[in-house]
Structure 1
Amino acid sequence: MDLDRTRPLWRQIAAEMISRIQDGTYPPGSRVPSTLELAEEFDVVNATAAKAMRHLREEGWTRGEVGLGPVPG
């Protein structure tokens, strides 16, 4: 996915992750990429990926699970 560098990158990453959760790429209970994996995939700094992941948690799209990391909520 190519990001539009004129819009907030974290919002675009969060929107892509929501889309993937909705289309079943990441079904409930499965593991979603880590912050580091997202940063690498989208070619952004870790802080940008972390902000996207924090937004997903705050909006109820993911939750943390010990030993698994973030999973769709």
Structure 2
Amino acid sequence: MIRMNAAQPPWRRVATALEQRIEDGTYAKGSRLPGAVPLSHEFNVAPSTVAKAVQDLKRRGLVTASPGWGTFVL
């Protein structure tokens, strides 16, 4: 079970959960992340919130996006 800090903004909680999944191998290097809509349903947030979380992961060099292909773990 992923513990999330309720004091963090929702996008940060999603980014933290995705980062944990990358670190524990749930999303292995080279694997594609689920899309924003499925993740938004899973985390009960708007797709734009997921997009902001993924942008944070990109900024930190954890994932890369290929337009038309998806977002992949680095």
Query: Under TM normalisation by the shorter chain, which class is it?
Result: 0.7 to 0.9
What is the Cα deviation at residue 9 of structure 1?
0.6
* TM-score, structure 2 as length reference: 0.84
Report the Cα distance in structure 1 between the residues aligned to 2:24 and 2:6, rounded to whole angstroms: 25
Q: How does 1:1-73 map to 2 (within 5 A)?
A: 5-65=6-66, 68-73=69-74
Report the Cα distance in structure 1 between the residues aligned to 2:31 and 2:68, rounded to whole angstroms: 12
Runs of 5+ in structure 2 lacking a partner? Answer: none
Runs of 5+ in structure 1 lacking a partner? Answer: none
Q: Percent identity?
A: 36
- Conserved in 2, the CA contact under 8 Å of 1:3 and 1:9? no
For the residue of structure 2 that corresponds to 1:12, the secondary structure is helix
What is the alpha-carbon root mean square deviation over aligned residues? 1.8
Q: Number of matched residues?
A: 73
* TM-score, structure 1 as length reference: 0.85
What is the Cα deviation at residue 5 of structure 1?
4.7
Higher relative contact order (CA 8 A, sep 6+): 1
For the residue of structure 2 that corresponds to 1:63, the secondary structure is strand
